[in-house]
């Protein structure tokens, strides 16, 4: 493949490596190769750039696509044999693992794949090369905006994170296909890339073409300009946050410890960045990051942890998600991966905010509010709870009673769900917001008639939950 050196794409590849210091001289690389155009183009460029003994190819069969997946594995093996490269094939039953862990197939496949890549990279003290490209980066920015990941989400995918490098991040799809054509290779096609089952595919097939047509320009260029500008701002903020982290954060084995008082003395923006910096470093028992590069680390998750640090009592624990917990220990906040069930995983604490009633236009708020938030009369709630207001997000308990908004009286919560024709199979998935034993709100279904905001209300409590806790099921 020496003729690839004459391509402008090869010069672009080398420039990216040099600019971002992706591959220090002599460093071995583990290349994640699926057999598709992106990863095959990356492999061809790496093969031209590095000595063959520096490259180990890893292909993971997720056990999802049957004969097509077997074809992909055989194709990657054949390419590696032709190039005389070391090749590791791994087979894993993602559907079974996902079911046992309560994860979606896509998320489970990503966690398992990166777990294998990291373990092999550790054996060889290698970097891990993955084939994300220009369009992937733009799609990620859009998805991050929709998820509410904050300013950091505007950066999209980074060129280097930990031991992971992305040398094709400046490449368009057309440039990738040209590399394959000049190299004389015909990549395989993953049929699931043509489907709309995943969010990324829907963004790729529909959202980006719609935006480009609406604005009559290549919207990907503009998204990446925004991403670059956000990256410059984040670089400065990250530098300051690192200084703060060096002062107030320590690591003890697999736990991350923060000085609670020092944390609360920082501005809210820095508090958020500290949490976004620490949580992605927390790994499961296999060493795989649970929120790699902050992926899926939504604003609601960050707010829940920040509020817990501010208001939680010593000994109290809140779950961030994916078995990462935050525990208060006097003036210490401990963030860690929980391998044991040290708290009731069915109980969480939503994000709450209290406002003077005069600070909110209630009518306008009710017209525009999302399904993920609800408001109540804080004064009446405090009076009923004798000042000890504790809001929980939990599963339904036997004996729960509900007073539906717009109806007189109360009834057993399970009977209400039956009347609403909620299938039995879905009722165990429903989460409710409760204060002590009182059911305040069933997100996605109905709020209660308890503590409504009226003209006499002096303070309003706003309760926010994650969108994943909203019931979106069907009715019988």
Domains of the chain: 2-131+166-216 (3.40.50.620), 240-345 (3.30.465.60), 351-469 (3.50.40.10)
Question: Which of 155, 181, 159, 156 minimizes the C-alpha distance to 170?
Answer: 159
- Distance from C-alpha of 75 to C-alpha of 73, rounded to nearest angstrom: 5
Decide: 92 and 86 in contact? Cβ < 8 Å.
no
Exposed (0-12), middle (13-18) or buried (19+): which is 258, by Cβ within 10 Å? buried
Number of H helices, E strands in the chain: 17, 21
Distance CA 225, CA 155 (A): 10
CA distances to 20, 221, 226, 308 from 229, rounded to whole Å, are 17, 13, 5, 32
Instruction: Please give the order of strands across the beta sheet that includes 459-464.
Output: 351-356, 459-464, 373-377
Beta carbons of 33 and 69 less than 8 angstroms apart: no
Q: C-alpha distances in angstroms, 307 versus 163, 272, 303, 325, 458?
A: 32, 11, 6, 14, 23
Give the closest residue to 17 by CA, choosing from 157, 228, 169: 169
Query: Are the C-beta atoms of residues 332 and 257 closer than 8 Å to each other?
Result: yes
Give the count of beta carbons closer than 10 Å to the beta carbon of residue 202.
Answer: 14
- With contact defined as beta carbons under 8 Å apart, do 36 and 189 qualify? yes
The answer to whether the CB of 51 falls within 8 A of the CB of 23 is: no
Which two structure tokens, joined as six digits, stand for 304?
């829940």
What letter would DSSP give residue 330? Answer: T
* 473 neighbors 423 (Cβ within 8 angstroms): yes
Beta strands in 108-181 (DSSP E): 127-129, 160-161, 164-165
Query: What integer pLDDT is reported at residue 349 of this predicted model?
Result: 77
Phi, psi (rounded to 5 degrees) for 50 = -110, 165
Cα-based angle 278, 284, 285 (whole degrees, multiple of 5): 135
Q: How far is CA 71 from the centre of its chain?
A: 31
Paired tokens of 214: 């609406």
* pLDDT tens-digit map of 361-385: 888 888 878 888 999 999 999 888 8
- Nearest 5 degrees, angle CA 254-CA 256-CA 260? 155
pLDDT value of position 424: 64
Provide the b/e sequence for 259-280 (b: ≥16 CB within 10 Å): ebeebeebeeebbbbbbbbbbb
What pLDDT is stored for residue 419 in this prediction? 85
How many angstroms separate the CA atoms of 95 and 64, rounded?
A: 7
Reduced 3-state DSSP string for 412-462: EHHHHHHHCCCCHHHHCCCCEEEECCEEEEECCCEEECCCCCCCCCCEEEE
DSSP 65: S
Q: What are phi and psi of 85, to 5 degrees?
A: -110, 150
User: What is the structure's pLDDT at 446?
Assistant: 92
Which residues of the chain fall short of a pLDDT of 70? Answer: 1-2, 101-103, 339-347, 424-425, 428, 473-476
Comparing CA positions, the residue from 71, 31, 72 lying closest to residue 54 is 31
Q: Which two tokens stand for residue 170?
A: 């400046």
Strands 411-412, 401-402: pairing is: antiparallel
Count CA atoms closer than 13 A to 78's CA, side-chain side.
11
Q: What pLDDT was estimated at residue 365? A: 80
């Amino acid at each position: 493949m020496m003729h690839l050196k004459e391509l402008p794409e090869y010069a672009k590849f080398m420039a990216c490596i040099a600019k971002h210091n992706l591959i220090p001289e002599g460093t071995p690389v583990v290349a994640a190769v699926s057999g598709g155009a992106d990863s095959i183009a990356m492999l061809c460029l790496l093969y031209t750039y590095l000595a063959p003994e520096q490259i180990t190819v890893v292909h993971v069969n997720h056990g999802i696509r049957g004969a097509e997946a077997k074809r992909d594995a055989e194709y990657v093996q054949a390419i590696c044999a032709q190039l005389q490269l070391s090749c590791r094939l791994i087979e894993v039953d993602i559907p079974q693992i996902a079911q046992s862990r309560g994860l979606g197939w896509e998320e489970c496949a990503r966690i398992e794949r990166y777990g294998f890549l990291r373990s092999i990279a550790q054996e060889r003290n290698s970097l891990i090369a993955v084939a994300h490209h220009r369009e992937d980066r733009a799609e990620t920015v859009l998805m991050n905006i929709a998820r509410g990941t904050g300013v950091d989400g505007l950066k999209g995918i980074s060129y280097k994170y930990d031991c992971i490098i992305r040398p094709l991040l400046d490449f368009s799809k057309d440039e990738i296909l040209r590399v394959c054509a000049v190299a004389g290779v015909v990549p395989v096609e993953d049929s699931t890339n043509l489907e709309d089952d995943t969010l990324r595919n829907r963004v790729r097939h529909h959202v980006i073409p719609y935006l480009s047509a609406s604005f009559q320009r290549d919207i990907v260029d503009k998204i990446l300009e925004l991403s670059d500008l956000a990256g410059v701002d984040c670089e400065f903020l990250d530098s300051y946050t690192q200084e703060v982290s060096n002062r107030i954060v320590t690591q003890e084995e697999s736990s991350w410890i923060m000085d609670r008082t020092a944390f609360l003395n920082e501005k809210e923006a820095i508090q958020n960045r500290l949490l976004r910096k620490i949580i992605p470093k927390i790994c499961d028992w296999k060493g795989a990051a649970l929120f790699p590069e902050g992926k899926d680390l939504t604003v609601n998750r960050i707010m829940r942890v920040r509020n817990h640090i501010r208001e939680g009592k010593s000994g109290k624990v809140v779950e961030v998600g994916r078995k990462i917990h935050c525990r208060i220990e006097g003036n210490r906040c401990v963030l860690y991966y929980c391998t044991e069930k040290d708290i009731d995983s069915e109980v969480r604490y939503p994000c709450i905010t209290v406002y003077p009633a005069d600070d909110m236009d209630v009518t306008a708020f009710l017209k525009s509010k999302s399904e993920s938030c609800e408001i109540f009369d804080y004064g009446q709630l405090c009076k009923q709870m004798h000042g000890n207001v504790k809001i929980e997000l939990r599963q339904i308990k036997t004996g729960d009673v509900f007073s539906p908004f717009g109806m007189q009286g109360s009834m057993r919560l399970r009977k209400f769900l039956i009347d609403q024709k909620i299938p039995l199979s879905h009722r165990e998935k429903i989460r409710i917001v409760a204060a002590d034993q009182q059911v305040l709100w069933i997100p996605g279904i109905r709020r209660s008639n308890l503590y409504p905001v009226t003209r006499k209300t002096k303070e309003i409590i706003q309760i926010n939950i994650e969108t994943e806790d909203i019931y979106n099921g069907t009715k019988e």
